[in-house]
Structure 1
Amino acid sequence: MACGGNSKFFVFGFLFMLLSLILDIVGVAAPYWIYGEKGSGKVYLGLWKICVSGDISGYNISGCSEFEDVPDWFKAVRGFGLLGILISAIGLISALLKTCLKDRVSVLIIAIIMSFISAVCTVVSIAVFAEKHYDLVKDSSFVNFSFAFAFCAVSIVLSAIAGICMIIEIAKRSSYTTIDGR
């Protein structure tokens, strides 16, 4: 059994899944979900750290620290973000296995399901953060969402497109007659 020879829909789906996973990892790990600038001070906030820099009372302060007391909704944001990454990785591994197991539609179905579940987990993560971030930043007039938040949002779209491409792959292949490929 030789690996390779997949259709363009599968290849596009696989590439979108890979890009989605990379963007999701960077988005969840980077301390740039929120960016704020007021005067000479700058604040960056992510899921794991908060970073500040600038002049405060005549002192130049710069550095990052981890959160000490994290609210439950913030733990949920972290959890769903990590769950989205894990499920996306499982879907990518399933898609990779499909390259050598051509006649096994079940492996491709697992990749499709994981792609959509990953998108849902990431949606929950960024939706809760977008709704509740005001609890962390009391004066939100100078705060905007930053690139890591946007990366997670883009990963949702790419993950959904990957799942759709793989659904088209199944629909176009007439050799998939049963769930076990017989």
Structure 2
Amino acid sequence: MGVVDDFKGASILCKVAFILLLIATLFTCISYTTTDWVYDDIGAGALHYGLWRICGKTDIPTACNAIDGWANDWYGVVQAFVTFGFFGILVSFFLVVLYIFVSKCQKNGEVAIAVAIICIATGVFYLIGVIVFAAEVNDWPENNTTDYKFGYSFALSIIALVLEIIGGILMIVEGKGGGGGGGTKPSA
């Protein structure tokens, strides 16, 4: 059986979960590494904040400062929870690929339930990180009067975590046998 045949043989729920997690993987990789979670647009001194760097709006690459290991507690919480969500999306997508394309994992309900658990648990972690970021960003630093605007990286994170949770829900149904052929163990 080829890759195309394996994909055709998967249930519609599994195919939808695969596509959702593929998109979530793309979006989370972009949002995790880019510097546009929030930005201020104050002229030449405009700054763009990501999870790991703050960059000015110049063409000089040295205009960025690393903020990993920053001693700001809430920012560390955001980095940690979003990292759990990031890895959860990557692992769950990998497991869905195994579920569809590897004969020993095909239609194995245990793999589907594992994907669902990882998606939902790490999706909730991702959600907590995004909520903390949204709640705290305009209150920091304490004496700041800047009104930060949320950027595309923040939006992609929200989309990725929603797709991850929906993918997890679909895989629960798949693993319980509702996806058409799912929920069975492979033959030995």
TM-score (norm 1): 0.83
The corresponding residue for 2:19 is 15
Amino acid at match of 1:71: N
- 2:153 matched to which residue of 1? 148
User: Counterpart of 2:135 in structure 1: which amino acid?
Assistant: E
1:65 alignment counterpart: 65
Question: What is the deviation of 1:11?
Answer: 0.9
Q: Is the 8 A contact 1:105 1:181 kept in 2?
A: no
Alignment of 1:12-51 (within 5 A): 12-51=16-55
Give the aligned length.
173
Q: Percent identity?
A: 23
Name the TM-score, length of structure 2 as normaliser: 0.80
Q: Structure 2: which 5+ runs fail to align?
A: none
User: Which residue number in structure 2 is paired with residue 172 of structure 1?
Assistant: 179
Measured against aligned partners, the alpha-carbon deviations of 1:80-121 in whole angstroms (never above 9, x if no partner) come to 111111122221122122123224110011111111122111
Structure 1 stretches of 4+ with a deviation exceeding 4 A read none
Give the Å deviation of 1:160: 1.8
CA contact (8 A) 2:13 2:179 kept: no
Q: Give the helix-richer structure, 1 or 2.
A: 2
Q: Which structure 1 segments of 5+ residues have no match?
A: 55-61
Asked whether the equivalents of residues 109 and 182 of structure 2 are also in contact (C-alpha less than 8 Å), the reply is: no
Distance in 1 separating the partners of 2:163 and 2:182:
27
Amino acid at match of 2:72: P
Secondary structure of the 1:140 match is coil
Deviation at 1:144, TM superposition (A): 0.3
> How far is the alpha carbon of 1:42 from its aligned partner?
1.4
In the alignment, is residue 84 of structure 1 matched against residue 88 of structure 2?
A: no
Q: Which of 111, 115, 140 matches 1:135? A: 140
> Which amino acid in structure 2 is aligned with residue 176 of structure 1?
G
Counterpart check, 1:75 vs 2:82: no
RMSD: 2.5
Q: Equivalents in 2 of 1:69, 1:159: separation in Å?
A: 28
Alignment partners' CA distance in 1, 2:128 and 2:27? 16
